[in-house]
Amino acid sequence: MDKILVPIAAGPKSKHINVTNDGATILRSMHVDNPAAKILIGISKTQDEEVGDGTTTVAVLAGELLREGEKLVHMRMHPQTIINGWRMARDAAKSKLLSLARDNSTNLEKFKEDLINIAKTTLSSKLLTQDKQHFAELAVDAVLRLKGSTNLSYIQVIKKLGGSIKESFLCDGLILEKEISVGCKKSLKNCKILASNTPMDYDKIKIYGTRVRVESLSQVQ
């Protein structure tokens, strides 16, 4: 269920309202002084930075561990003993997960299916839940085209007004936002493309490290 976040401090951002169900966003927006609550916020931030998902899950899990740990403290159990028990449980859970894990990286079709299922699970709690199959396939195809690279900056997301989110597509190439002049062709095949970081308009061309010397105004015209 989405939550409405309303700032409590007066200022230019006091009229800004966020509607979100993201656990990390909600926790970052909270002002708390309780040490246990600060621990939960720190855990959520770390999860968001390292993984990018599962912030609500780790916050709920850590909160439950703290609640159960408080009961054990009231039973006069030493905190270090509780921590050692948590570490043993962590190692047992990790060992069990590793025994259940399957490596399908050698089977491209099965590997892609696993990635799509992971992406669909992530999108199930987002606003795209109705179209999670479509966007899961787009995300997986984009990541697989990186050929093993983890630099997601190579994947550019371009937003355009109009249409619906179902019209989103993955373009295997370069998209340039440029208006078509009058009389220009809208479609070309088997053409040569020049990619330049300098505008081609004669009145906008920037010349770096070049000196132009003229002797009269007639040479400028």
At residue 75, the pLDDT reads 92
**In sequence order, which residues have a C-beta less than 8 Å from that of residue 111 and are 6 or more positions away?**
104, 105
Closest CA to 178 of 196, 163, 191, 165: 196
- Name the residue with higher pLDDT: 129 or 66: 66
Would you say how long the chain is, in residues?
221
Residue type (1 letter), 38: K
Range among 11-25, 64-78, 180-194 rated most confident: 64-78
Q: Is 138 in contact with 168 (CB distance < 8 Å)?
A: yes
Confidence check: pLDDT of 27 > 80: no
CB 45 within 8 A of CB 56: no
93 pLDDT band (50/70/90 cuts)? very high
- What lies within 8 Å, CB to CB, of 165 at 6+ separation is 128, 131, 135
Q: What is the mean pLDDT of residues 173-189?
A: 77
- Find which of 10-19, 73-82, 114-123 is predicted with most confidence, using mean pLDDT: 73-82
38 pLDDT higher than 80: yes
Identify the structural domains of the chain with CATH numbers, from first to last.
3-100 (1.10.560.10), 103-212 (no CATH)
